[in-house]
Amino acid sequence: MIRPATRQDAQALADIYNHYIKNSTATFEENPVTASTMMERINKVNSANLPWLVIEADNNILGYAYATPWKERSAYRYSVEATVYLAPKAQGKGLGTELYQALFAELQQKSIHSVIGGITLPNPASIALHEKLGMVQVAHFHQIGRKFDQWLDTGYWQLTLD
């Protein structure tokens, strides 16, 4: 089931995200987050009138997806950056696709025109997910971040919704 995130989900969402902070370069964040921090982030997304969705089965949160404003300037108000994370045990089952499809449908209803997804490179699985949904690569920044004592590239994929 896919539904909006609630306060009760904050710890599970932090646990999923903290796995990536501690074990991967998928995020450039380096310090684990608390449930309180995650709830603040959910509230910020919701206050921007954007969706934060979770996917669950048997009362277990398996992943989440959300959108944030792309930039602060008003002319960017129809563009967002989308993010998706899955619990390690939930990867490879099509749940990322389901989450993004639900997210994109909600964004269309909110008159969002452009969705952008950032990916730390290399990441073949994330690239495949974004391209499966029709996103195309529009940028590649070389050695833009540093984590785990290595320089990392970031690519951006974009989809026009209408």
Segments forming the whole domain that contains residue 28: 2-160
- Of 33, 34, 32, 35, nearest to 7 by C-alpha is 35
26: DSSP letter: S
pLDDT bucket at 31, cuts 50 / 70 / 90: very high
What CA–CA distance (Å, rounded) separates 27 from 120?
7
Compute the average pLDDT of residues 44-59: 96
CATH number at residue 66: 3.40.630.30
What's the pTM?
A: 0.95
Q: What is the pLDDT of residues 121-144, one digit of tens each?
A: 999 999 999 999 999 999 999 999
Counting the structural domains of the chain, the total is 1
What CA–CA distance (Å, rounded) separates 142 from 87?
28
Task: Answer whether residue 156 shows pLDDT above 90.
Answer: yes
